[in-house]
Amino acid sequence: MSQELSLHQRRRKPRGDELEGIPWLSVLLPQERENALRVLVVGDAEPGDYVCRMGRAPTYWFGVVDGLLKMNTDSADGVSLTLAGLPPGGWFGEGTAVKREPYRYNVQAIRRSVVGGLPIDMFHWLLDHSIGFNRFVMNQLNERLGQFIAAREIDRLNNPDQRVARSLAALFNPLLYPGVGEVLRITQQELANLVGLSRQRVNEALAVLQRERVIQVEYGGLRVLDLDALRHGVFAPVRRVLA
């Protein structure tokens, strides 16, 4: 993690191309958008940087403009549970921001990322004044609830292939992560960090999913071919032939 400047100290005004990757801006009326842009910032996160820490009060509502983050929580016995991977276009923590309560999870950058931040006072101003913003946040809360329930189910899966498939499917949620599209830019090591498996085992699972034609492994990322199969499919393991 960078020891020179904190992520907060590295905040800056977003560039025009970065604003295009913030989905909720398009639902605002002109005056609402102008007010939001006046205080909206982004920060350049290095791998390992914390965006949110358990127990700290929220000061911003955060989103991923570019890069990849991981949301996780640690239990009393030291077991870590990954709640979500957060790819481009994903804004998160709206429940915490609404209640202004301390974070119950950590969010950390897995690779170099650009993180957007809307000050929490402006977040609440938009809730009070913008119908479009309210609808966006309500949809986020509804989808996030389903995602957290699925994360619990994924954590209990004993089949690594299904675990990788379900974790990938969550990253392709078009409502939570509209910036992903059909191709997710992710390395096998980054996926292993999210799923909680070794890089080798993730590689084997991806081979199964590609053989079943639900994904296509491309240079620097993965293309989803059948999202429904990725969410619900049962896949036969690759048979190893010993010489």
pLDDT digits over 63-115, tens only?
999 999 999 887 666 667 777 889 999 999 999 999 999 999 999 999 999 99
> Domain spans of the chain?
11-155, 159-232
| Total Cβ atoms within 10 A of residue 57 | 10
* Exposure class string for 31-44: b at 16+ Cβ within 10 A, else e: ebbebbeeebbbbb
Domain 159-232 bears CATH identifier 1.10.287.40: no
The C-alpha atoms of residue 102 and residue 114 are separated, in whole angstroms, by: 23
Residue 171 CA to residue 160 CA, distance in Å, equals 17
Question: Which residue numbers in the chain have pLDDT < 70?
Answer: 1-5, 75-79, 148-157, 233-243
Q: How far apart are CA 200 and CA 193, in angstroms?
A: 12
Does residue 44 sit in helix, strand or coil? Answer: strand
Beta pairing class for 60-66 and 91-92: antiparallel
Q: Which CATH architecture has domain 11-155?
A: Sandwich (2.60)
